[in-house]
A and B are shown apart, each in its own frame.
Chain A
């Protein structure tokens, strides 16, 4: 799978987003503040919106999925059981993955948004996609769930995964960093070279960089290891 954005421009009134770049196999992280245009880039790559200018070309025929920030938008079942079934999945592995053991008969509207999000992500990650776009996957998750998700996403993917987030507390290992700066999608490059170019890294990473550490990647674990190397 390969996605190329060439001279892409999206206009919404006064607001404009421009994008150029190529997404290839691996894990990509697209960051930027709320309202900067991350979701628009996700929708463009998924083919859900068409740009006002330029082209978005996807090479590869495999299944694509865009996970939206709010899990309610994806829900089609009345209960947890029906929701898992709507994804064509067996309930037990999903329930354990989502930390929802014993909640199979629960009605979805009785679940908290955090539970809905965990259920949604467990269903999405249980399926195989050639291109997986995760728009704000950390929304509504508590700290342990965020860390668990980061650990899960840090595993080398079989296909292309693009994570769009403004989250700062816990990030997964990725292969390439992108940033939206003043309405423009900027490819910062492979993660190791991109870290010093990142204008808004999370606090834990910025602090490590200030101490002279050179992390291999952006996860908390990588930063800890880099700090240990610096101290040693």
Chain B
């Protein structure tokens, strides 16, 4: 899939569809199976497994306390898979381009820039966590709360510092809000079935309210 607009549309609409109804979740899962590289497109499988483990624990609690844990687990698993796909499929600058195309060079630019910076921070944070694991293995540090909490606090502090520096840099370069950008998109024919299937998934979710 090459069109950034389609990728963002799919990553926004399909999780909602999957969360709303079970039929929508089945349709969204079918979309994920048909139009994404599936497990090969997941950049950080361990993070996905971590989220799925949390979901499993939550589903067990939901099943015991109120019932409906299994459908909840299925719907949320599809949401996580779609999020993992978009995280791997996202191209740098894509969020900014789509936001400007949708909302213009003022609000759209600000929204897109914020989204790009957030996505970049998330990438950096994941990279930092991976490097921390390497470093701790080298140092022979056991993963205990008393060592984990100061390390994570330092990492968070570093991220905040970097954000501050980035904001200062933007201000120094004269950014006060909005900006000019002429986004251009390619919509290859092979993206058409994926686009139609998103609409179909929405229709299924609305038609079968399970």
Contact = CB atoms under 8 A, between A and B. Distances in A.
A167 B138 CA distance: 24
A204 to B, nearest CB: 30
Nearest to B139: A74
A66 to B, nearest CB: 5
A107 to B, nearest CB: 9
A70 interface: yes
Contacts of B155: 72
Given A109-B154, A109-B157, A86 B147 contact: yes
A48 interface: yes
A23 interface: no
B90 interface: no
Interface residues of B, number: 18
B194 to A, nearest CB: 21
Interface in A60-84: 64-66, 68, 70, 72-78, 82
Interface of A is mostly: mixed
B138 to A, nearest CB: 5
Given A46-B138, A109-B157, A70 B150 contact: no
A87 interface: yes
B153 A73 contact: no
B123 interface: no
Given A72-B158, A86-B141, A86-B147, A78 B134 contact: no
29 contacts: A46-B138, A48-B134, A48-B137, A66-B135, A68-B131, A68-B134, A68-B135, A70-B128, A70-B131, A72-B128, A72-B154, A72-B155, A73-B132, A73-B135, A74-B136, A74-B139, A75-B150, A75-B151, A75-B154, A76-B136, A76-B139, A76-B147, A77-B147, A78-B150, A78-B153, A82-B150, A86-B141, A86-B147, A87-B139
